[in-house]
Chain A
Amino acid sequence: MKQTLEADNMWLEYNGRKILQSIYLKIEVGRVVGLLGRNGSGKSSLLRMIFGTLRGQNQSVRVNKKFIAHPYLEKGLIRYLPQHKFVPTELKIKKLCCLYQVSFSEMANHFPALKKYENEPVDRLSGGEIRFFETLLILLSPVPFVLLDEPFTHLAPVMVEELANIIKAQKQNKAIVLSDHSFQKVLDLSDDIYLIVPVGRSILLKNPAADLKSFGYTN
C-alpha cells in the first residue's frame, strides 16, 4: 500500500486575520503535488503546519489515516525545504550529507561541481549553489514525504532543469509537495495541483491551466 499524508482542518489566524481556514490536501508516494497561490496566501505557513513546526488554531495531519501531532518529530517520516537558507554554512559539505544520511557520491552525480568541495564548508559555495545543495539534501533524504518551498528560487536554468529531472526520479519512492512561483515548472512536474485562494481555502484543480486563469492566478 502506498503511503499517504492528508492535511485538513488547517486553521491559522494572526491577530484575528485569517490566513488558512478550509484546507484539504492529500499527498501520496509516487506523486508530486503542486501548491500554488498568490504572495501571502499562506502556502509557506501551510507547509510548516504540515511539517509540524507551526501550530495553528487547529490542524490535522494524518499519515496512512493515523493522526500525527508533530510529523517532523517522527523518525524518518518527513523533511522540509524552507524558503530561506537553513544549513549551518560553517559545517563541511560531507558532514552535512552524513548528518542527513544522504550519499555524497549520489549528490555529486547530480551536482558534479560539488566534488571539489567535499571537505569544504558550505559557505565556499555561491548563493545559487547553496540553494541547490540544500534542495538536494532534502530531496535525496531517506524519507517518504518531502516538502519543497520555492526550490527553484536563485537557481540557474541548467540547475532548474537538473532539479526537475531529480524530482521526476525521486517521486518513484517519495511523495513530494512543490510550491514555487515558477508555476509553469510546477505544472509540468506535478500530478495534482492545489491552489490556495482567498481566504485560505484550497482547491484541487481539475484543469490547471484554465482554472488558474479563472481564479485570477494567471492572465
Chain B
Amino acid sequence: MKQRLQAILSFYFTFAWFTALISLGSWGIMKTPLHQDFQRFLPLYILLKIFTNSLVWYHLRSSNPGRLFFYSNLEISETRLFLSAFAIDITLFFVLIFILHVLF
C-alpha cells in the first residue's frame, strides 16, 4: 500500500507543474474568486480540469506507453493511476483555496 501510494505520488509529480498551472491560471483569470464567488467558479473549474486532465492522460499514454508497466508491476491499473493522480491534483487545489478562505 505504502509503495503504491509513493508510486502514484511520484507519477503525479511528473506533470504536477502543468496541472497546477492550469488550476492557478484559471483561478487567476477569473479574478481569484473566494467564498460565494468560488462556488460559481467551481463548475467551470471542474469542466476545465476534466478537459485538461484528459489531454494529460492522452499525452502520457501515447508518448511513453511502456512506462505504465512500471505501475502495473506495482498492482496499479492505468485507470486507478490516472484517477488517483487527478484526485491528488484537485485535492491540493481545494486545500489551497480552503487556506485562503480561512485567511481572507
Residues of A within 8 A of B (CB): 51, 53, 70, 72-75, 79-80, 82-88, 90-91, 95, 98-101, 138, 141
Contacts and interface: CB of A to CB of B under 8 A. Distances in A.
A80 B73 contact: yes
27 contacts: A51-B72, A53-B69, A53-B72, A53-B78, A72-B72, A72-B73, A72-B75, A74-B75, A79-B73, A80-B73, A82-B66, A84-B66, A86-B67, A86-B69, A87-B70, A88-B10, A88-B11, A88-B67, A88-B70, A91-B10, A95-B10, A98-B3, A99-B3, A100-B3, A100-B74, A138-B73, A141-B73
B62 interface: no
Given A80-B72, A99-B74, 7 more contacts: A53-B68, A53-B72, A84-B66, A85-B66, A86-B69, A87-B70, A141-B73
Nearest to B66: A84
B10 A73 contact: no
Interface string B1-29: 00100110011001000000000000000
B75 A86 contact: no
A100 B75 contact: no
Report the 8 A-B pairs with minimum CB-CB distance, sorted nearest first. Answer: A84-B66, A86-B69, A82-B69, A86-B66, A79-B73, A99-B3, A86-B70, A72-B72
Contacts, number: 47
B75 A75 contact: yes
Interface string B62-91: 000011111011110110000000000000
Given A82-B66, A98-B3, A88 B14 contact: yes
SS class, residues of chain B in contact with chain A = helix
A34 B3 CA distance: 31
Nearest to A137: B73
Contacts of A91: 10
Contacts of B73: 72, 79-80, 100, 138, 141
A86 B77 CA distance: 15
Contacts of B69: 53, 80, 82, 86
Contacts of B75: 72-75
Contacts of A98: 3
A103 B66 CA distance: 24
Contacts of A51: 72
A72 to B, nearest CB: 5
A82 to B, nearest CB: 5
A98 B73 CA distance: 13
Interface in B22-61: none
Nearest to A53: B72
Nearest to B73: A79
A210 to B, nearest CB: 36
A80 B74 CA distance: 10
